[in-house]
Amino acid sequence: MTLLNIENLEVTFPLRSGSVTAIRDVSFTVDQGERIGIVGESGAGKSVSAFAILNLISKPGYISGGRIEFDGTLLSELDESTMQQIRGNRISMIFQDPMMTLNPVLSIGTQMEESILAHRKISRAEARNIAVDKLRAVQIPSAQKRLKQYPHELSGGMRQRVVIAIALLTDPQLIIADEPTTALDVTIQAEILELLQNLCNEFNVGLILITHDLGVVSQVTQKIIVMYAGAIIEQGDTENIVTRPKHHYTRGLLKALPENTTPGEKLNQINGVMPTLQDIPHGCLFHNRCDMVKDVCRKVQPNLQGIASHSVACHFPISYEE
Amino acid sequence: MFAFLVRRLGQAILVMLVISILSFSIQDELGDPLRELVGQSVSEEIRNQLRDELGLNDPFLVQYWRFLKNAVQGDLGTSYFFKRPALDVILDKLPATIDLVVAATFWIILFSVPAGMFAAIRPNHWLSKLCMGLSILGISIPVFLTAIFLIQIFAVNLGWFPAYGRGDTVVLFGGWETSLLSLDGLSHLLLPSVSLASVILPLFVRIIRSEMMEVLETEYVKFAWAKGLSKYRIWTVHAFKNTLLPVITVGGVQLGIMVAYTILTETVFQWPGMGFMFLEAINRVDTPLIVAYLIVVGLIFVITNTVVDIIYGLVNPMVKLTGR
Ligand SMILES: Nc1ncnc2c1ncn2[C@@H]1O[C@H](COP(=O)(O)OP(=O)(O)OP(=O)(O)O)[C@@H](O)[C@H]1O
Ligand SMILES: [Mg+2]
C-alpha cells in the first residue's frame, strides 16, 4: 500500500536577488513500512524535500508546484490546523544535530509529554507512561529518571535516542530522518542506524532516511533516491543502485566511498562542484563534471526514465552486460 | 544554593568597599562643609578648631577608616541640613522611590513582553514597524522632556492626573508607606512612573524582539513545529523561555540604571523620593547625605544583581546555583 506519494514537487525561494527553485520535478513514493534513502551532496535539496512534506519550509520558501498525498489525503490542500495534527503525530521528524534539536531549558519529560498531549486526549500521567515506554524502546537506561533531566545532562548519542523516542511517541506511520547520524561519532552512528532500522521494522513504520553517505543508506533502506542540484537523477532498489549504478554521478559517489578505495590510495573524488541554484546549467545538470559528456548533454535535459525498480536521468547511462 | 550565596556575598562586600571608597573620596571635592555648618561670620581660628574636632584635618585613610567603622554599624554620618542621621533621612525617602521603580518596572514588563514578542513573530506587520519606530523615538527623547510632555497633556490640558506630589499613602508594617494601595496614590504615581519607564521600555522591546527572532530560527524551535505543537505553545514556552535568559541579564542591569533616572523623574514631578532628595543635597552641599545616598544606591545595585542572578539560575537549567 502506498503511504506517501509525491508528484512533481517544486519548491521556490523568492529571494531579493531573484527567486530560485530549490527542488524541481521531485516524484517518489513510500509504501507502508518501507524504508527509502535520499542521498546527495550538500545543497542538493534533500532537507527542502523533507520539510516540504510537513509544509514547514522556512520562509520565504513555498511549495510552488506538484502534489503530496499521504495516506489518501492531499497534504497540499490541508489548512494549518489539520496539518498540525499530522506533524509529529502521523509523520515524525528526526533532525541532524541532537545537540541543537532539544530545547535546552525544558526537561526531557516536558518535551516528550507535550508531544503526546498535542495529539492525544489523555492525562499527563498516561503521557508520562508512554514516554517511559518509548525511552525503553530506544534502549535508554533508567528511563524513568531521564524525564527529570535536561538535554545538557545527556551525551550526543543519548540525545539522539531521546529524539527518536519523541518521534515514536504517537506511533507514526512515517518517520523522516534528516541526517540523523551526521553529527555523531562513527561507532554511535552505526548503533543509532541499527536502532532506527529495527524500530521501523518492528512497528511497521515507513522511513525516509536522508544522508549524504551512500554507504549509510545502502545498509538500511530498500530504495535509494539520488538527488543532484534540486532534482532526482537516479532512483531505484538499493541493490540496483549500489551494484549497477546507471548515472555517472552515482557511480562517482560509490567510487568515492572509503570502503571502495584500496587502502593507501587517494579517495576517488568527483571533479568539480555541484552547480548552485543560481546557475543551473542548460541540458544535463551534471554535464560539466561528467567524463562521458557529449554535445546533446549540454543542450537537452534528460528525463528520469526506466522502471520503478531502477530509473535514471542520463542520455548515456552506464550499461551492464547480464 | 548556600555556596552560591556565600560567594555572592563576598562579591557584594568587595563591590560595596569600592563604592564606599569612591563616594567617600569625592566628598572633599564637593566644597567646604564648614560653610554650611557655621555660616560666614565665624573667624578662621574657630573654623580650624572645629575642623580638628570633626576630624577633617586627619589623613584620608584615618578618616576613611572611621567612616567605614561607623558605616558598618549603620551610621553614615549626620545630614548637615536635616540635622538627623543621613541613613534615616534616606530610609524615609526610600519607599517613595521604590514605589516609582516598582510601578515603572510593571509598565516595562506589561508592554515590552507582548510588544517584543509580537514584533519578533510578525516582523513585517505594520504594528511591529510602529513599535520599532516608537522605540527609537522613546530611546532618543530625554526623560525630562517626556515628563514635561506628559504633565502638559495629561495634567495641565486634560486635567486627568495630578502634576506633582505623591498623594495619599497607605502605611504597611514597619512604617513603610506606599502609594500603590490607594487610588489617589496611584493617580499621582501614574505620570512619573510612565515617564520613568519610557527610557527603559523601548530598550526592552528591542532586546526581546532581537533575541526572540534569533531563538525562532533555532533548530529546537523548528523541531517543536515538526512535533505538531500549537503555535502559542511554541512562542510562549519554547521560544520565550529561551529569549528570557539574555533579557534577564541585560534587563537586570537596566533596572539598576533606572534608579539613576529616578533623580530626573522625581525632580520634574517633585516626587518626594531619594532622587529628589539627592539633588537637593547636592545644592546644599550636604556631604554626608550625598555619600550616604551613593552607598545606598550601590547597595540597591548589588541586591538587584544578586536577585537577577538567582532568577537566571532558576530559568536556566544549565546553571546550577549549588554547583557554583
Ligand atoms: N531558507 C532558505 N532560503 C533560501 N534558500 C534556501 C533556504 N533553504 C534552502 N535553500 C536553498 O535550497 C537548496 C537546498 O537546500 P537543502 O537544505 O535542501 O540542502 P541539503 O541537500 O539538505 O544539504 P545538506 O546536506 O547541507 O543538508 C540550498 O542550496 C539553498 O540554495
Ligand atoms: Mg539538509
With H, G, I as helix, E, B as strand and everything else as coil, classify residue B10.
helix
Shortest-distance Cα residue to atom 25 of ligand 1? A42
pLDDT value for A322: 65
B228–A105: do the CB atoms touch at under 8 Å? no
Cell 497633556 identifies what position? B153
Q: Is the pLDDT of residue B324 over 50?
A: no
B237: which DSSP letter?
A: I
**Residue A258: CB atoms within 10 Å:** 9
A118 contact B CB<8A: yes
pLDDT value for B40: 65
Arithmetic mean of pLDDT, B217-228:
93
Q: Which three cell numbers stand for residue B307?
A: 536577585
Q: Which three cell numbers stand for residue A89?
A: 503525530
B317–A150: do the CB atoms touch at under 8 Å? yes
Class at the top of the CATH hierarchy for domain B88-284: mainly alpha
Q: Is A321 exposed, middle or buried (0-12, 13-18, 19+ CB in 10 A)?
A: exposed
Query: Would you mind telling me the total number of residues written for chain B in this entry?
Result: 324
Min distance B127 CA to chain A CA atoms (Å)? 20
Q: Which three cell numbers stand for residue B268?
A: 520634574
**CB–CB of B36/B289 below 8 Å?**
no
Chain centroid to CA B85: how far? 23
Arithmetic mean of pLDDT, B192-211:
90
A262: which DSSP letter?
A: -
* Those residues with Cβ within 8 angstroms of residue A307's Cβ, 6 or more apart along the chain or in another chain: none
Q: Which domains can be identified in chain A, with CATH numbers?
A: 2-90+170-312 (3.40.50.300), 100-169 (no CATH)
Q: Is the pLDDT of residue B39 over 80?
A: no
A64: which DSSP letter?
A: E
A173: which DSSP letter?
A: S
**Mean pLDDT in each 10-residue stretch from start to end of chain A (322 residues)?**
92 90 92 93 92 91 92 88 92 90 93 94 93 91 91 90 92 92 84 89 92 87 93 93 91 83 71 84 87 86 89 89 70
pLDDT value for B304: 85
Q: Tell me the pTM.
A: 0.84
Which of A250, A232, A233, A249 lies closest to A241 in space, CA to CA? A250
Q: Which residues does a 6 A CB cutoff place in the pocket of ligand 1?
A: A 13, 15, 22, 40, 42-48, 58, 61, 212, 277
Which of A166, A203, A136 lies closest to B227 in space, CA to CA? A166
Query: Would you mind telling me the total number of residues written for chain A in this entry?
Result: 322
Q: Which three cell numbers stand for residue A15?
A: 529571494
The alpha-helical segments, DSSP class H, found in chain B are 2-25, 33-38, 44-54, 60-72, 86-121, 126-140, 143-150, 183-216, 219-226, 231-233, 240-269, 274-283, 287-315
Return the bridge partners of A178, or none: A210
Q: Where are the domains of chain B?
A: 88-284
Q: With cut-offs at 50, 70 and 90, classify the pLDDT of residue B323.
A: very low
Cell 530598550 identifies what position? B203
Question: Which residues of chain B make contact with A118, given a CB cutoff of 8 A?
Answer: 227-230, 233
Q: Range with the lowest mean pLDDT among A121-130, B281-290, B312-321?
A: B312-321
State which residues have CB under 5 angstroms from ligand 2, the bound ion: A 47
Arithmetic mean of pLDDT, B94-103:
88
Question: Which residues of chain B make contact with A56, given a CB cutoff of 8 A?
Answer: 222, 225-226
The Cα A302–Cα B212 span in angstroms is 46
**CB–CB of A35/A216 below 8 Å?**
no
Q: Is the pLDDT of residue B321 over 60?
A: no
A101–B219: do the CB atoms touch at under 8 Å? yes
B318 contact A CB<8A: yes
Q: Residues of chain B with pLDDT > 70: what percent?
A: 93
B311: which DSSP letter?
A: H
Return the bridge partners of A15, or none: A18
* Those residues with Cβ within 8 angstroms of residue B307's Cβ, 6 or more apart along the chain or in another chain: B252
pLDDT value for A189: 86
- Chain segment B126-161, per-residue pLDDT in tens: 998 998 888 888 888 888 888 888 878 887 788 787
- Chain segment B58-87, per-residue pLDDT in tens: 777 888 888 888 888 888 778 878 888 888
Which of B132, B148, B193 lies closest to B166 in space, CA to CA? B193
